[in-house]
Structure formats: C-alpha cells, structure tokens
Amino acid sequence: MNSEVIMDRGRAIENDYIYLGNVAEYVQNENLFRFRCGKTEVLIKVLAEDIIRILMKPNEVPSLDTTQGVIFKDNKEVEINATEFEDKVIINTNKLKMQVNKIPFGVEIYDYEGDLIYKSYDKCFLGWKGKNIACFSEIREEERFYGFGEKAGTLDKRGESLSMWNTDIFDPHNPHTKELYVSIPFFIGLAKGKSYGIFLDNPSRTHFNMGEGQDKYYSFEAEAGKLDYYFIYGPEMKRVVSRYTDITGKMPLPPKWALGYHQSKYSYSTEEEVKELANNFRKKEIPCDVIHLDIHYMDEYRVFTWNLHRFPDPEKMIQDLKEMGFHIVNIVNPGVKKDPEYKYYVEGMLNNYFCKKIDGSAYIGRVWPGESAFPDFTKQETRKWWGKNHKAFTDIGIEGIWNDMNEPAVFRDEQNGGLEDKTMDLDVIHDNDGKPATHRELHNLYGMLVSRSTYEGLKGLLKGKRPFVLTRAGYSGIQRYAAVWTGDNRSFWEHLSMTMPMVMNMGLSGIPFAGPDAGGFMGNSNGELLTRWIQLGVFTPFFRNHNSINQLSQEPWAFGEKYEKIIKEYIRLRYKLMPHLYSIFYEASITGIPVMRPLVLEYQDDPEVYNLNDEFLVGDSILVAPICKPDTKFRVVYLPKGIWYDYWTKEKYVGGKYIMIYAPLDRLPIFIKRGAIIPMAPALNYMGEKEIKELTFEIYADTESRYTLYEDDGETFEYEEGKYSLTYFECKNNEKQIIFKISSQKTDFDTGRERYILKFNDMEKKPEEVKCNEKMLEEVEENQMLNGKNYWYFNGKERVLYVIIKDSKPEADTIIVNDTCAY
C-alpha cells in the first residue's frame, strides 16, 4: 500500500488515502470475480452483457446485499468469456470487453468497436481514508456528465462537485447549492457520441467531484458503508436510462387525474375556503383535478387526524368535491407527536415501531407537532403499520397522499448546528429488517421508505384503484412509489429558469414524474411570473401551483383578468394534450425514458445541445422554449436537425440552427417536429368529466413516421392484467401521396371513441381525392358535418386537410390522399 499527492476537489493536497496496490489472488465463480489486494477483496459481478457491478470494503469481503433502491435480479447465465494473463484478466461479454489490470489494480472497459468507454484513474482507483471509501476514474476528452437527480445549476455537471444528503433547505437554493431534498447517486457520462452510466448504491452521504478545478479524473466517495457501484453501458443515453431503471425500477402508471392541474397552498385551512376554491374553478371553467391540504387540516399537526373546528365534516366535504370532479390530497409527515393519549404514538411505542437511540429508547425530535417520534421505515412491520394507518383517509374517499418533511427534517436551535444537522442524530439505530445500521449509513433511504410505506398501504386499501403519492425526499428507486416535487423554491425568475435543468436531470435519473411548485413557494409572485411559470408547468410531468402562508395568493385568477385569461387557456392546453401525455407516461412506465427530456437525450451527437438548459422536449416531437425573464417578447431558440413547425403560426423552420422567435405574454414558444403525430382531446374541466367520443390528430407528414396511442381506464390496475388499448398509426408521404394507416394492436379496453379527426398540416394545395379503404370520401364545405359518414374538407388559408372518419376498431383503416404536395 502507498499514497501520493494527487488533485482532489480542485486543489493539490496530501492524499492520505490508502489505495489498492497489486492483485495477489484472483478467483472466478460463474459471473462473480474476486480480486484480493492485501487484506481487501474487490468483487466484480457481471450482471448482464451491459451491466457490471464493482464492490469493495477495506480489509473485508464486501457483502453482495443491495439497498432497497435495487430490484435487479441476478442473472448467472449471462454469457461470459474470461482469460487470465500474467498482468491482467480479460472479461468479455457480448457487448463489452473489460480489462482488469493486476499491477496495480485497475479497470478499463471497451465496447466491441474497440473504443474506450470507462477507465480507472492511473494514479489511484479504489481507496479509503478512515470510513470514507472513494473511486477515481479518468475523464475522457470532452466528456459531459448528466443526471445526479435533484440538483440546482446547469444540465451538464462537468467541473462541479456535488453531495448527496437529503436536506430540508429553506434558504433559497442557487446554482452552487450542493444538497437538496432528493439524493440519486447516479450519473451518465457522454463522450464522442457514446454514453455509460454509474450508479453508486450507497445511502450515506456521498460526494461526487466531476473534475472541479482539473480535467484528469472524477471521483465519487461514500462516508459510510461499502463502495458498491454499477457500470451501465449505452452507447445511447436512452439505453443507459432504461437499464438504470431496470436496476432501480420503473414508474407505475399514475391515476390519470394526477396528470391534471393541482392547486395547493400552505394552507387552505378551512372547509369553507376549500369549497370556495373549488367553486371558483368550476365557475370560471379553469380545469383542475386536485386540491392539496397542507398541515393546518390536522389536529395540532397529529398525523392521520382532522381539526374538526376547521373541517367539521371532512367525509362530506370530500364526497361533495368528488361530485364536482376534485380529488383531495392530504399532507402526511413522518413525525408522530409524543402524546401518551394519542393512538398512533402509543401503538408505535408499544410495538417498537420508532427509531431508537443506542440505549434502546425512542429517538425524539422536534417538528411541527412539537416533540415527536419517528417511525423506523427500514423495518417491514413498521412499513405495514404505517400503510394501514391511511385507512383513516381512504375510508372517507381520499386516494392521494403528500409526504413532506421526510428527509427526515428535524427542527434545530441555531446553536445546535446548521442545515446539515437538520435531521435526526446520526447515531440513531435503524432495524434495517434485521441488519441494524446507523442513520449515518441509511439517511438517504428514509424519504423513499416513507413513500414506499404510503404507496403500498394505499394500494392495499384502495381495492384496485391506483394511489397517488407525492414526495419531497427520495433515493434511487423512489419512482416506484411517488412523484417528486422540487421542494421549497422561490417566486424568482431565476428559480423558474432553474426548473428546467433540475427536472430534466431528474428524468435522466429515473424519475419521470417530477415538477416544481409553479409560481414559486416562498415570496410574492406577480401576474407575469405566474403566467410564464404556468406556461412551463403545462409541460412539466407534475403540474402544481403551490405557495406559502402570508404570501400573495397565486391561484390562476389572483392577478386579474388579463393574466387569468392566458393562464386558463394554457391549463386547457394541458388537458387537450392529455391523450399524448398519457401515452408518453405509458412509455416511461415501460422503458424508463422520461416524459420531459433534455435535447441531448434525443440528439446526443449534436454538441449544440450538450448544455442546453432553457429548452426541452416532451416526448420526442414537441420542443418547448419557455420565457424566463420579465418584460421579454423575443428569445433565441435552437432547433436541432430536421424540419420544425411553430405550433401557433405553422411557420416552417429548417433545424440545425438558432432562430429568433416572437413570444409576447400570451405565447409560449412551442415547436413540432415534422413526422409528429399528436392526439388531442376536447378540453375538460377535470379528467373523466365526460366520455371522449372523438380525438383530433395533429399530423405533420414526413417520409415515414409512426405513433402508438395508449389508453386504459386511467384509474385501476386492470392494465397490468392486459386491459388496455394500443392503437398504431403509420404515415408515409412521398410528396405526391400520403398513406395513413390506423390499426388496433390491442383492444382489451373499450375506449368508447366514435371517430377521428385527422388534421394533415402544411398542405400546399387541396388534394385531388381522399380515400378510406379504397372508397372515395365525400368532400364537404368547411363547416359542414356528415353524421355517421367519413368525409373531408380543405382549409386553404391554414393549409390543413381535415379527414373525418369513424373509428372502425378493431379493423384497420387506410387513408390515401392523392396529389398532395404536402411538403
């Protein structure tokens, strides 16, 4: 063993790490490789042809146990070919060549084209200093780094240092804030058009130095436990994200109402206030599905209770609101008030459900209810108990819960420490399902396990309905249980701007269902800021307007009719786009690919998008470029390769360049890529308000394009039993003729749809004829309707061909448009 001077966190220091020297012994057992270096063993486990796991704990043989963030099952039958040489071991899979160097110990990973994808740092690979364990890896030329979950700042994290420690940060976060509420120790490296992922499965405080102050190496380090990381090969970024979510889990489909607009405040604190709010939405016909109740609905902040002075009849209130199309989502925090006459505290104490000090007594910390005990969610019995307690809510009609303060946050006096101490004592003991560990080791898991307990409890209680859980804190795998909002932001234009890279990186980190508090939580918003934030919120996966007590109200009508009118139309746009959004959510649930995507995810060979922070894609064909500065009517937009259309004007642009776009207050820059097929529904006041009898498809015909529409009941888990519908759309355009095919791939759910309105955009002239299944369709005047028949008309001013056909499921339909010049 030895040590030397290297660069660390951007400055030269005496590196007192002990790090691995030469390999003394090597053993292979199926897909597991053991390398002994002195008293320390490194385990390399080939989990799949594109996933390799590396583990090390100083002077020990590391356990192969995983955290609860991992669900990936071992595959011992993966095809491996290993050859030992005097100075190295070569491990080949069908996709990768891994070279393990013996003198000193290090690794190099190549793809089958011979390109180097990942390499340990020559001067130091795996090392430790006290309880801290670190890994140093070489930075490739022009390498970029994405992911890391919920982080402030820009999309690309090269040159930054970041920490993972779930923190209740009330002071305004800024681009240099290193720790927020959610810790996802996963990132994607991209260089020369090829990508890979690294997932460090360790829920203690971890640090990532991505080349701050130097460009030779990056490092990641854990303050407790073992070093346990997964290498995931792409080369496409989409493949990396998908495989990472194979390891940590995919998002289940949320109830459709949860994709609608949410209205919240800290707090709507009386039944009268909530009913007045609901009545305003319906009277003004502003769509809304969800009203959130913050902590003031509770009896002295006791969880699972109601303040019956403020809410004298919560069951009737909830039923009345359901009849109006609203769902109520209640906040539930983990702190249980210390009160010997309080049911849940007594049950927790008698059954050892709470976290304990080393002397066996319950840990008590101060949060909203005052002195409180904290359930030990690492213990299965506690998780089941907590989940069943939600019966107090589900029995009166509640189907959604909001988990806050679950980092866990604990109030501290100023003299007791700063922000990093705003959690329970680090020597608190968790049961960890029979493998006790300290809070120092498991801190980042706590928030995820709160939401796991909530989700699993609701799922059992709701008898087939999908629960909705919203969380502030989480760890890798949180997507299996909850949507995430980005915590206590501010009503700053800068926080509006910061929303985009934050939510995009969360999507790249396996969390598709995320979003900010639109309008800002703390501080006073204004009409212009709220309008611009709502425009952005229409396209964030989670869409909630939430602000704090003693701040100006920011409901859609709060700043007057001028702003209300614009906000209303944009919320209506969200609901019109719901068939498309729901299909993208379905894709996310199957593949892990996010709903809101950075352009680099779709265009990883285009250097112009590598750190593009103020634009994003919804799916692969809608580009959104929000306005993030006051008094702004113009902005520059980068359009990647391809042909793009302004959503509002239908003006056509050739991509691969920057353009200047006009964007007054009522216009959010939106662009649609040629080849897109986008289903849209009539605007609703809430999901399920009425049966959708027709869908309109916005079609931008390209040489060849495809689209799959997913539909189910939006409410139950019957889709897991195959009760859903998949409709396949294919469009081919050869300039003279458009061939558009509709076919039902799966029809186990009755959509109730009667017809389609097909809108073929960018048509140079009226077509000569339109056929459906070889039958000539009748041409009609623009405002004419033929009930029960297929027909078409052409709008020359808009250059749009409208084809109206009956939905003939499950039979296929082929629409042929002749002599089109549709380019």
Q: Which positions are annotated as active-site residues?
A: 404, 407, 488
Contact at 8 Å (CB) between 597 and 615?
Answer: no
Residue 561: both structure tokens together: 């009719």
Q: Which residue has the tokens 């304990």?
A: 356
Instruction: Give the integer Cα–Cα distance in Å for 508 and 601.
Output: 8
Instruction: Give the integer Cα–Cα distance in Å for 595 and 597.
Output: 6
| Residue 401: strand pairing partners | 330, 469
- Alpha-carbon Rg for the chain, nearest whole angstrom, is 28
Q: Which residues of 281-320 are buried (b: 16+ CB within 10 A; e: fewer)?
A: beeeebbbbbbbbbbbbbbebbbbbbbeebbeebeebbee
Q: Which residue has the tokens 């902590």?
A: 295
Residue 808: both structure tokens together: 């003939």
810 upstream amide cis, omega within 30 of 0: yes
CA quadruple 446, 450, 455, 461: dihedral sign: positive
Quickly list H helices, 207-251: 237-248
Instruction: Give the integer Cα–Cα distance in Å for 152 and 498.
Output: 7
A 10 A CB-CB count for 14 gives: 10
Q: SS3 of 716, please?
A: strand
Q: Which letter does DSSP use for residue 252 in this model?
A: P
Q: Which letter does DSSP use for residue 416 in this model?
A: G
Terminal alpha carbon distance of the chain:
68
Q: Find the helix or strand (DSSP H, E) in which 279 lies.
A: helix 271-284
Sheet holding 370-373, edge to edge: 336-337, 370-373, 364-367
* Amino acid letter, 785: M
Q: Which residue has the tokens 């039923």?
A: 319
Contact at 8 Å (CB) between 130 and 151?
Answer: no
252 upstream amide cis, omega within 30 of 0: no
Q: What are the helix and strand counts (H, E) for the chain?
A: 13, 55
The burial class, CB within 10 Å (0-12 / 13-18 / 19+), for 395 is exposed
CA quadruple 233, 188, 186, 131: dihedral sign: positive
Instruction: Give the integer Cα–Cα distance in Å for 139 and 157.
Output: 13
Q: How many residues does the chain have?
A: 823
Contact at 8 Å (CB) between 683 and 664?
Answer: no
**Contact partners, residue 2, CB within 8 Å, separation at least 6:** 19, 21
Residue 62, φ and ψ in degrees, nearest 5: -65, 145
Question: Measured between alpha carbons, how far is residue 476 from residues 54, 380, 482, 568, 571 in Å?
Answer: 18, 19, 12, 36, 31
Contact at 8 Å (CB) between 102 and 89?
Answer: yes
Q: Considering only CA atoms, which of 692, 821, 704 is closest in space to residue 754? A: 692
Instruction: Give the integer Cα–Cα distance in Å for 307 and 688.
Output: 31
Residue 688: both structure tokens together: 């399920």
